[in-house]
Structure 1
C-alpha cells in the first residue's frame, strides 16, 4: 500500500506545482479579488445588467487579444488591429445600408475575409521585407486608418441602419451570456486547442522561443509567421463585425487607440512580450481584467486619469514579472546543465 501511495503522490504534487506556476493564475486571482472588492463597495456592480455590461465590454477585446497572442508568441506585434477593426466595422455598416436584404452570415464572411486580406498585407510585409513587425504595423496602422478616413469621411452608420436580428447579437442572451460573448469564448477555446494540440501551434511557440533553433529543426518560420498575421487579421475582422453589432454607430474614428489596449491585455494575461510563451486563455483573462478594472473604477467613481495610470502600472508589472521569470528559468536550466556535466 505504501509503495502504491509513493508512486501516485509525485504526479499529484507535479500537477499542483504546475497549477501554481500557471501564468493565468495571478490574473484569475486579481480578477476575482477586484470583482469581490467592488461588489462589497457597490452591490449594483454585479446586478444582472451590470454583469451583462461587463461581459459585453470585454467581448471585443477578448477576440482581439486572442489574435494578438498568435503574433506576440512569434516575437512579433501587430499595432494595426484597431485600424483593421475600424475598416471592417465601417464596411459592415456600409453593407447593411447599401445592400438590401444581405444575409447576416454573408456580412460575417465578408468582414472576416476583409480582415484576413489586411492581416495578409502585414504578414507579407513582415516576412518578405525582413523589417521588424513593430515598424511595419505602425505604418499600416496609419495607412489603414487613412483609408478609413477617406472612405468614411463624415459618414456614420447607426443602429437603425442594421437589421434588428444583427443588433440582437449584443442584446440577446443564451445560458445567461450575450451571444457575442459566447462567440468570443468559442474563439478562445478553438485557438487554445489549436495552439496546444497541433503542430502549427507548437511551431509558433518554437519560433518565439528560439528562431535559430526552429529554423534548424526545419520549421518554415516565414510561413508560420505569415499565417499568424493572417489569423490575427481574420479575428480583427470578426471583432469589427461584432463591434458594429455592439455599438450604436460606426465611422471614421472607430477603433482608434484600441491597439495599445489589446497589447496590454495580452501582456497582462501572461503572454511574454519577448515571445515563446503565453496562452489565448490568459490573454482573454487579461482583456476581461482590464475592462473590469475600468468598470470597477467607474462604479467607484474614480477619476479616469487614475484608471489609465492603473492600467499602465499593470502592464509594467506584467513585463517585469515575465522578465524575472525568464531569468529564473534560464538560471535553472543552466544549473541543471552544469549538474549533468558533473555526472
Structure 2
C-alpha cells in the first residue's frame, strides 16, 4: 500500500513524504540561519567595495559608518517592537524633529544646561508623543497607519510652530551639547556606545521578561493572547510609547551630531528605519523579528549609504539599489513565511 500512486500525479506516498520532509528541513534551516545569510552578504559586499576602494575598511571610515548608522539602529529597535505587534509608525521622523527642535531651543536659551538633561527632555517629549499614538491605536481602535500618518503632520506642524519656521544653528548651541553627538569615549563615538546600550537593554527586555514575550504573543495571535490573559491594548500602548521615547532621544542626538535643528529634520527617515527592519527579517504580518536581524539590516543600509559614493555610483542608482535590496528582503520574508505556514499546516494534518 505504501507504493500506491497518488491519482494521476504518479508519486508514491513514501517518496512524497520524503520530498515534504526535505521541504520542511530547508524552510526550518532558512528560518534559523537567515541572519547568517545576511551577515555573509554584508561581508561579501564589504569585500567587493574594499577591492574597488581600499579606503573603505580603514578605521576612520568604519568609525564614521558606524556613527552614521547608530541613530538608525536605535530607531529600528523601537520600530521592530511596533511591527511585531502588526503595527507601523510613520511619525517617528516628525517626532524626532519636534524633540530635537525643542531641545536645541532650550540649550540655546540656557547654554549652561547639562547635555544629559537635554537628552532626557527630548526623550520625554518623544515618550509623550508615543503615548498619544498608543491611545489612538490601542484605545480608539484607529488603524496604526492612519493614526501615525495623521500625527506625523501634527508633530511636524508643532515643530514649525514653536520654531516660527527658523533654524537653530551650530553657533547657537553650546559646545558641551554638540559633544553629546560628536564626542568619543575610548576612540569610539558616543552615539555608538548609546546604540550598544540600547541593544543590550532591548535584548534583555525581549528575551528575559514576561512583557517581551507578550509582545510576540500579541503580534502572532491577538485573540489567543487575549484569551490567555494578556491585555493587547496595554502592549500596544507600551510599544508605541517606547518607539516615541527612542524617537525623542534620537532627535536630541541628531541635532547634536549635525549641530542644526530644522523643521524638516529627518523628513522621510521613517522609511529607512522600516527598511532596516524588513531587511533584517521582521515580518510585517507580525509576531516575527530578532534584534540580531534588525542590527544587521541597519548595518547593511549603512554600508550601502557609505559604500556607493566611494565607488562613484550615481545618486540615482543608489536609490534603485537600495530599493532592490529592500524588495529582495521582502520577497525572502514572504518565501520563508510561506514555508513556515506550510510546515504548520502539515503538522496539524499529521
TM-score of the aligned structures, taking structure 2 as reference length: 0.88
Q: Distance in 2 between matches of 1:205 and 1:86?
A: 30
Is residue 157 of structure 2 the alignment partner of residue 146 of structure 1? yes
Q: Distance in 2 between matches of 1:87 and 1:288?
A: 26
In the TM superposition, residue 328 of structure 1 has moved relative to its aligned partner by: 0.8
Q: 1:93 aligns with which of 104, 107, 130?
A: 104
Q: Distance in 1 between matches of 2:31 and 2:147?
A: 38
Number of matched pairs: 324
Q: Which residue of 2 aligns with 1:105?
A: 116
8 Å CA contact 2:173–2:259 kept in 1: the answer is no
8 Å CA contact 2:103–2:122 kept in 1: the answer is yes
Alignment of 1:5-84 (within 5 A): 21-84=32-95
Q: Which residue of 1 aligns with 2:326?
A: 315
8 Å CA contact 2:181–2:254 kept in 1: the answer is no
In the TM superposition, residue 164 of structure 1 has moved relative to its aligned partner by: 2.1
8 Å CA contact 1:192–1:279 kept in 2: the answer is no
Q: Distance in 1 between matches of 2:140 and 2:331?
A: 31
CA RMSD, 1 decimal = 1.7
8 Å CA contact 1:56–1:170 kept in 2: the answer is no
Q: Which residue of 2 aligns with 1:9?
A: none
Q: Which residue of 1 aligns with 2:249?
A: 238
In the TM superposition, residue 295 of structure 1 has moved relative to its aligned partner by: 0.9
Deviates more, 1:196-205 or 1:319-328: 319-328
Q: Distance in 2 between matches of 1:283 and 1:225?
A: 20
For structure 2, the 5+ residue unaligned runs are: 1-24
| Cα distance change on mapping 1:138 and 1:251 into 2, 3 Å | same
CA displacement, residues 223-256 of structure 1 (integer Å, 9 cap, x when unaligned): 0110000000000011111101110311111111
Deviates more, 1:235-244 or 1:29-38: 29-38
Q: Distance in 2 between matches of 1:195 and 1:99?
A: 38
| Cα distance change on mapping 1:276 and 1:95 into 2, 3 Å | same
Is residue 182 of structure 2 the alignment partner of residue 171 of structure 1? yes
In the TM superposition, residue 212 of structure 1 has moved relative to its aligned partner by: 1.3
Q: Which residue of 1 aligns with 2:223?
A: 212
CA displacement, residues 245-284 of structure 1 (integer Å, 9 cap, x when unaligned): 1103111111111011111111111111111011233212
Q: Distance in 2 between matches of 1:178 and 1:320?
A: 35
Give the secondary structure class of the aligned counterpart of 2:55.
helix
Q: Distance in 2 between matches of 1:90 and 1:231?
A: 20
Give the secondary structure class of the aligned counterpart of 1:44.
coil
Q: Distance in 2 between matches of 1:132 and 1:74?
A: 12
Q: Distance in 2 between matches of 1:163 and 1:279?
A: 39
Q: Distance in 2 between matches of 1:114 and 1:282?
A: 29
Q: Distance in 2 between matches of 1:107 and 1:174?
A: 20
In the TM superposition, residue 18 of structure 1 has moved relative to its aligned partner by: 6.8
Q: Which residue of 2 aligns with 1:114?
A: 125
CA displacement, residues 5-61 of structure 1 (integer Å, 9 cap, x when unaligned): xxxxxxxxx9xx879723422322222112111111101112232112101110111
In the TM superposition, residue 110 of structure 1 has moved relative to its aligned partner by: 0.8
Is residue 345 of structure 2 the alignment partner of residue 334 of structure 1? yes
Give the secondary structure class of the aligned counterpart of 2:56.
helix
8 Å CA contact 2:281–2:290 kept in 1: the answer is yes
CA displacement, residues 102-133 of structure 1 (integer Å, 9 cap, x when unaligned): 11121111111100000111100011221210
TM-score of the aligned structures, taking structure 1 as reference length: 0.90
For structure 1, the 5+ residue unaligned runs are: 1-13
| Cα distance change on mapping 1:174 and 1:103 into 2, 3 Å | closer
Give the secondary structure class of the aligned counterpart of 1:113.
helix
Larger Rg: 2
Is residue 260 of structure 2 the alignment partner of residue 226 of structure 1? no
